[in-house]
Amino acid sequence: MPDNELQDTLNTAILKLKAREDAFKQFESISNLGSWEVDLKNHKTLWSEQTYKIYGLNKEDLTPTLEYFLSHLVEEDLPRAQKALHEAMIYGAVTSFECRVKRDDGKVLNILLNGKVVYDENNIPSKLIGTTQDITQQVSLKRYSDELSQLIEYSSNEIYIVDYNTYTYLYVNKGACDALGYTKDELLSMNIFAINPTLAFEEASAMKKLLTKHKKILNKTVHQRKDGTIYHVQAYIHALKYNGMDAFVIFDTDISQTVESQKLLKEQEHKLTHLVNHDTLTNLPNRSLLKDRLSQDIIALKKSFNKLALLFIDLDQFKKINDSLGHHRGDEVLLEISKKLQSLVKAGDTLARLGGDEFAIILKDINNIQEALKLAQSVTAIIKEPIQISGTTLFISSSIGISLYPQDAKDEHDLIKFADAAMYKAKDEGRDNFQFYSSEMTTLAFERVVMESSLRMAIKENQFVVYYQPQVDALTNTITGMEALVRWEHPSIGLVPPNKFIPLAEEIGLIVELDRIVMKKAMKQFATWYGNGLKPGILALNLAIKQLNSKDFLATLLHIIKETGFNSEWLELEITEGQLMNNPEAAIEKLKQISSFGINIAIDDFGTGYSSLTYLKRLPLDKLKIDKSFVRDLPSDEEDVAITKAIIALTKSLNLQLIAEGVETQEQKEFLINNGCHNIQGFLYAKPMPAQEITKLLNKSNEI
């Protein structure tokens, strides 16, 4: 080969070699891997460029030796290194030896050494060649991650990583195992529902949805341990990737203690307020709670328009019991009495002990004062029952004061003051009685209570009689009908007019029975008259709306008609305008049914209520009855004249019949006839009379 050709080949080879060296250098630099060789005979050492870099040195700074390397090792790593070197000589290699080197600039590196012994032709070790890799970063990263794992593992919180799709546990820490009493393996074969007894599948998926929005959520739940016991936890849940999978991590803190302590705190608070508001002996509400309840009850009553009674009950001469038997026995008596009183108080009402021998009862939602009076009577009676205390029989009486809302007072302070005052009045009256704050109430209450029981008695004893008042066509003076009007023939008082007992009968619901009695008697009478060939016309019966609303009204009516031999076409029912217009909608259907049997319907006392024209058209009406209050001052009173004329015009336009009641004078009659109302009922023609007198009248003639 010519010289120049050789030169070219050499050049190319050098260039190739250079390129390789460059590539090698780059590779060393990228992998942070330096190479070296040590001549084992003279310890001469060669370092690659990258090895210098790893040691933080320049080629010019140092001629490397094996001793340099050994002297820069962290002291405690030296024995290991010497051992490794020794073994390399025996086995021919050193692999993945990790040690620490302290550089001249003070920096400590973690390095990984791999080396191999090269032998000469006589098989004697001549060189050690190898690599040095700077793994400082990996080591610290690993340490960091190890520390982190430890931190998670040994955290006192329970930490779970859960598979996003299957809800199974992918990781659980020691805290979780300790808290639940399961082993790691057991938990890793379970899903979240196994330890969350209250968690429903839907709830879990809703939570997952939230996670996609918020990344982190807070939740409170209950965990169940392996032994079945439960505890409260607060959970932070984050979405994350775990081993490349969609997952979420749950950090749970046991908050049972806080939940427990909160409960405890509440209980204590409750106990405390109970203590503040209750009497320790009887455990009844005390004066301050009574006041509270009273003001609350008043607020509630303002909406319902109902009444309320406050009873103050004071035991008579209780001091004597205390003095003679001692306080301990006195307390027993008070306890006994509080139990007795409790038995009289209905749910929602309040029995309180005001101190000493004073009790109070709030009786709310009452319709009338009789209810308060009845309670006072029961209290008096129950306290009077003899009490046995350690072999002694005690007879105790009470003095009771009653104040009423809203009659007496509209606020709790005055009600209490007045009940107290009434109680002292009862004491002044000689004890063992009760008094209302306003004395009329006391009288009224008694009258009414007496009245109520005698009304009930009157029904039983058939003390009611029916009077009849003729209704007359004033143009012909003929009787067109009779209004049945009830009278009470009281055995000792004599004849009692209806306005004295009908309102009470309505209030206590007795009116239904009463009206049925009247209905039966009057129909029987009419059937007899007709049967005897007399012509009493139609029977006008007063009907309380309570009667109409009673469930079996129509059936009863039809039954009585049949039973008495009456004819439904002879019947007219009078309902007062006031009662009807209270709830006209409810009456429409019932009245239509009644009307379908040919029974007439009249509105009584017309002009005193507030009729709406719409309802006058919609109700199945036949007749209006002008109230006697408008008739009384006809024809002199201008206003009454105008009203009467208007009612007459109204009936004409609605095509209804008309009758005027309470007609007493010739002038009244003439005015009515002249203005188009010729049906008349009143003293001018006849007063309400007993049946025998009507029989006499009808027997004479049909004219009056």
For residue 574, the minimal CB distance to ligand C2E (Å) is 6
Give the one entry of ligand C2E, Ca ion, none that residue 485 binds, where binding means its C-beta sits below a cut-off of 5 to 8 angstroms depending on kind.
Answer: ligand C2E
Which CB sits closer to Ca ion, 361 or 624? 624
Which CB sits closer to Ca ion, 408 or 483? 483
Q: How far apart (Å, rounded) are the C-alpha atoms in residues 239 and 253?
A: 18
For residue 632, the minimal CB distance to Ca ion (Å) is 12
Which CB sits closer to Ca ion, 28 or 605? 605
User: Helices then strands (H, E): number in the chain?
Assistant: 27, 27
Beta strands in 451-597 (DSSP E): 464-473, 478-490, 494-496, 538-542, 571-576
Please give the residues from 484 up to 543 whose contact with Ca ion meets the rule CB under 5 A: 542
For residue 661, the minimal CB distance to ligand C2E (Å) is 6
Which CB sits closer to ligand C2E, 313 or 518? 518
Interface stretch with Ca ion, choices 81-89, 209-217, 570-578, 690-698 (CB under 5 A): 570-578
Q: How far apart (Å, rounded) are the C-alpha atoms in residues 376 and 369?
A: 11
For residue 533, the minimal CB distance to ligand C2E (Å) is 27
Give the strand order in the sheet containing 169-172: 169-172, 158-163, 245-254, 230-242, 216-224
Give the one entry of Ca ion, ligand C2E, none that residue 64 binds, where binding means its C-beta sits below a cut-off of 5 to 8 angstroms depending on kind.
Answer: none
Q: CB count, 10 Å around CB of 596?
A: 10
Please give the residues from 571 up to 610 whose contact with Ca ion meets the rule CB under 5 A: 574, 604-605
Which CB sits closer to Ca ion, 312 or 606? 606
For residue 625, the minimal CB distance to ligand C2E (Å) is 8
- Name the token pair of 518: 């009247």
Which CB sits closer to Ca ion, 406 or 609? 609
For residue 682, the minimal CB distance to ligand C2E (Å) is 3
For residue 594, the minimal CB distance to ligand C2E (Å) is 16
Cβ-based neighbours of 141, under 8 Å, separated by 6 or more: none
Cβ-based neighbours of 417, under 8 Å, separated by 6 or more: 409
- Name the token pair of 36: 């070296």
Phi/psi zone of residue 434: left (φ > 0), alpha (ψ -120 to 50 degrees), beta? beta
Cβ-based neighbours of 699, under 8 Å, separated by 6 or more: 534
Cβ-based neighbours of 208, under 8 Å, separated by 6 or more: 164, 248
Q: Which residues contact ligand C2E by CB under 6 A?
A: 469, 484-486, 497-499, 502, 511, 515, 518, 542, 544, 604-605, 628, 661-664, 681-683, 688
Q: How far apart (Å, rounded) are the C-alpha atoms in residues 125 and 118?
A: 6
For residue 586, the minimal CB distance to Ca ion (Å) is 21
Which CB sits closer to ligand C2E, 144 or 683? 683
Residue 435 binds Ca ion (CB under 5 A): no
Give the one entry of Ca ion, ligand C2E, none that residue 316 binds, where binding means its C-beta sits below a cut-off of 5 to 8 angstroms depending on kind.
Answer: none
Give the β-pairing of 623-626 and 600-606. parallel
Which CB sits closer to ligand C2E, 360 or 482? 482
- Name the token pair of 322: 């205390």
Tell me whether residue 228 is exposed, middle or buried, using C-beta atoms within 10 angstroms of its C-beta: 0 to 12, 13 to 18, 19 or more.
exposed
Determine the 3-state secondary structure of 244 from DSSP: coil
For residue 506, the minimal CB distance to ligand C2E (Å) is 8
Give the one entry of Ca ion, ligand C2E, none that residue 187 binds, where binding means its C-beta sits below a cut-off of 5 to 8 angstroms depending on kind.
Answer: none
Q: Which residue has the tokens 């049945």?
A: 484
Q: 572 forms bridges with which residues in the sheet? A: 540, 600
Give the one entry of Ca ion, ligand C2E, none that residue 297 binds, where binding means its C-beta sits below a cut-off of 5 to 8 angstroms depending on kind.
Answer: none
For residue 515, the minimal CB distance to ligand C2E (Å) is 5
Q: Which residue blocks in 385-510 are alpha helix, DSSP H? A: 412-428, 439-460, 502-507
Give the one entry of ligand C2E, Ca ion, none that residue 683 binds, where binding means its C-beta sits below a cut-off of 5 to 8 angstroms depending on kind.
Answer: ligand C2E
Give the one entry of ligand C2E, Ca ion, none that residue 571 binds, where binding means its C-beta sits below a cut-off of 5 to 8 angstroms depending on kind.
Answer: none
- Name the token pair of 483: 């209004």
Positions that interact with Ca ion (CB under 5 A): 542, 574, 604-605
